[in-house]
Structure 1
Amino acid sequence: MVDSVPLLEVSALGKMFGALRALDDVSIAVNRGTFHGLIGPNGSGKSTLLKAIAGAHFPTTGTIRFHRKDITNWAPYQRARAGLSLKFQITAVLRELSVYDNVLLALQSHESPWSLVLSRTRRRLDSQIMQALDRFRLADRADELAGKLSHGEQQWLEIAMALAPGPKLLLLDEPTGGMSPEERRMTGELLLPVKAECSLVIVEHDLDFIKNICDHLTVLDQGRVLCDGTVREIEESPEIQRVYTSRV
């Protein structure tokens, strides 16, 4: 029987930073096996919403449910253990470590302290590491320092690190920022197969990229939901065409 309950439910979420209302009564639902895009002008609240879902900061009002559980006040590590992963906009790979060891550390963060003390993880995780690297065309760069990768390849490495532990939901904040058109196209191709095992919420300014991979879009403006629907519904919305498409 197919579970009709959304994987992620954000209900009436609000976030205040002093007198600034960054999010105002935001509600979205993300279903299993779908890619959900967040678009809108700069300052519309997209990244704030993503960080609230990840636990980087707590909302002022509203609730966040993941896998039917209320995670509104959970710490980031609790959300990660529940199957939620986040890749921030700025690449945070460890440049002085090998590409291989970056993924190893991402996997070891989910291991017990006892297994790490006994140094049992490297050999056991080898096939999982290489599979993660192969998915993003980095297997042949495994022994190189991460700092030697191009900007686009470092972005792919960080996505591979976020996906390696097998999350049920991945949050991506502008993953194609700074990439060439060819790298953006390839990033879309590399992400699409992920849908079979992991849902995605993505903030992105490249409309062509986000429309090509997403099933559903939410348009934010000044911290509120302006429009929510399928890619086609958003594209055909006169209000979106008139006001926002050229500004995203």
Structure 2
Amino acid sequence: MALLEARGLIKIFGKLTALNGADLTIAHNEFHGLIGPNGSGKSTLMKCIAGAETPTQGTVTFAGRDITQASPAERARAGMSLKFQITSVLPALTLYDNILLALQAQTSLLNLALSRTRGVLHDKVMAMLEQFRLVDRAHEPASALSHGQQQWLEIAMALAPEPKLLLLDEPTGGMSLEERRVTGELLQPIKARCSLVIVEHDLDFIRDICDRLTVLDQGQILQTGSVQHVQSCPRVQEVYLRRA
């Protein structure tokens, strides 16, 4: 059984059809890239999966459960985690406390009120900071980080609750070439425990980390398959040349 299945997704905004019958299947422990020209529907598809938008038609099934009408909070509890392009770290808090808050989101109000969680979660916080090469700056404010490091911190926050599926919307936007390279290295180890859907304009980056790609154009799925298959598809090449 697939981890995620989106079937026949249509999303209409007024007179604009942003998605027109889009299908997407994500397997367990798969890295899947969404690519396509600007305005092709990538971010709308991602939002329909995450619950930020409700499709006009179609269904979204996650871990065998229909979540088409579920709220983002319900999807998060089911094991889905989302990071949008704009960072949402809390700049005045330390890196440590940003990760701690991400973990505490799954904790009961009683335990939070009694301050039982900080000690219990310490090792997990430090492990996430270590994994994303931020442990030496654990007690600095997040505002002191570079743009790329803030993106890494937010990815760490999204992974802290141990989701089954991580959704990333243009995580390398604004990064240097070196930061993009490191981001790919940081993401690779999570495949053992988490699937990934990623929207990205950097084709070199997405080719290096993804198992499969889905290409959208004008709200429709143009092609899905292995990186090699998609790259060699004449229809995909024609769309990118047309929009270049």
Measured against the shorter chain, the TM-score band is over 0.9
Q: Partner residue of 1:62?
A: 58
2:117 alignment partner, one of 115, 121, 126: 121
Q: Partner residue of 1:239?
A: 235
Q: Scaled by the length of structure 1, what TM-score is found?
A: 0.97
Native 8 Å contact 1:10 1:29 kept in 2: yes
Partners in 2 of 1:151 and 1:176 — Cα distance? 10
Q: Partner residue of 1:167?
A: 163
1:179 aligns with 2:175: yes
Native 8 Å contact 2:94 2:140 kept in 1: yes
Structure 1 residue 62 displacement after superposition: 0.2
Letter in 2 for 1:106: A
Q: What residue ranges of structure 1 are gaps of 5+ in the alignment? A: none
Q: Partner residue of 1:19?
A: 15
1:47 alignment partner, one of 43, 47, 54: 43
Q: Partner residue of 1:210?
A: 206
CA deviation map 1:114-169 (0-9, x unaligned): 11011100110000001111110001110000000000000000000000000000
Structure 1 residue 85 displacement after superposition: 0.1
Percent same amino acid among aligned pairs?
Answer: 63
CA deviation map 1:44-103 (0-9, x unaligned): 010111111110111110000000000000011100000000000101100000000000
Q: Partner residue of 1:196?
A: 192
Structure 1 residue 241 displacement after superposition: 1.9
Native 8 Å contact 1:40 1:247 kept in 2: no
Partners in 1 of 2:98 and 2:243 — Cα distance? 36
Structure 1 residue 205 displacement after superposition: 0.1
Native 8 Å contact 2:215 2:223 kept in 1: yes
Partners in 1 of 2:141 and 2:241 — Cα distance? 40
1:34 alignment partner, one of 30, 34, 37: 30
Structure 1 residue 243 displacement after superposition: 2.4
Partners in 1 of 2:35 and 2:129 — Cα distance? 29
Structure 1 residue 242 displacement after superposition: 2.7
Residues 96-135 of structure 1 mapped to structure 2, 5 A cutoff? 96-135=92-131
1:77 aligns with 2:77: no
Q: Partner residue of 1:8?
A: 4
Partners in 2 of 1:199 and 1:193 — Cα distance? 11
Letter in 2 for 1:86: L
* Partner secondary structure for residue 16 of structure 1: strand
